[in-house]
Amino acid sequence: MTRTVLITGGTYGIGRAIAEKFAADHNVLRSYQKTKPSDDLEAQSNVVSYSCDLLQDGSAENLVTRAMDHFGRIDVIVNNAGLVRSTPIESFDAEAHRQVFELNAIAPQALLTAALPHLSAGAAIVNISSMNADLPPRGAATYGASKAALNLWTKAMAKELGPQGIRVNAVAPGAINVPEAPRSDDLTQLFVKDTALGRPGTPEDIAKAVRFLASDEASFITGEILTVAGGYRL
């Protein structure tokens, strides 16, 4: 039976690389909000893209319903959709803080709750966190805090769902060069001097880690935060 992977934010950057990695031999339903799908995956019958604002009430339930209607099962959830905003303390914006936390930390919980009745032993959840959960950059404390909350939730859900045979892990990317992102190369190069491997990561580096954690090869791994950062600040 072909397994089904549900990926949020699956049409851009890291999310698109994850979708490509799974689409070779899995069914894939990927959500998007701003970046409409324009890649070769759209021509594949085993890939479905669905426009969805995860900050809206009912979006998680709609996404799960769409996956079940198309493929009849959900085996892997990749919570990739995220929001990065500069939130300097000198100009506190409660709404901006709320949106960062809602998308980065609360939306994954809502999606898991909606999907849980359809998950069985062997299912895997992979959350996309960030090294900024431990090393928050100046002016982005809210982003770092939201990813720290996601890490704690990852561990808590691993403990709660372990008896059901459902694994929950996270991947924490370091400096990743996303070619489509504005100034991505300039920004990632700032981190290279502190990276042991001397280069920024690629979306494919993260996709490989996600694919591993979702696979049976990682069947005894749960509650872990796998940092994929090229040895940043060793």
Catalytic residues: 143
CA distance 71 to 11: 19
Among 122, 87, 129, 94, which residue's Cα sits nearest to residue 108? 129
Among 214, 212, 188, which residue's Cα sits nearest to residue 202? 188
Amino acid at site 96: A
Amino acid at site 224: E
In degrees, rounded to 5, the angle at the alpha carbon of residue 107 between the alpha carbons of residues 101 and 108 is: 110
Q: Are 107 and 60 in contact, with CB atoms under 8 Å apart?
A: yes
Length of the chain: 234
CA distance 142 to 13: 22
Token pair listed for 36: 């409409």
Among 105, 103, 124, which residue's Cα sits nearest to residue 115? 124
CA distance 176 to 185: 9
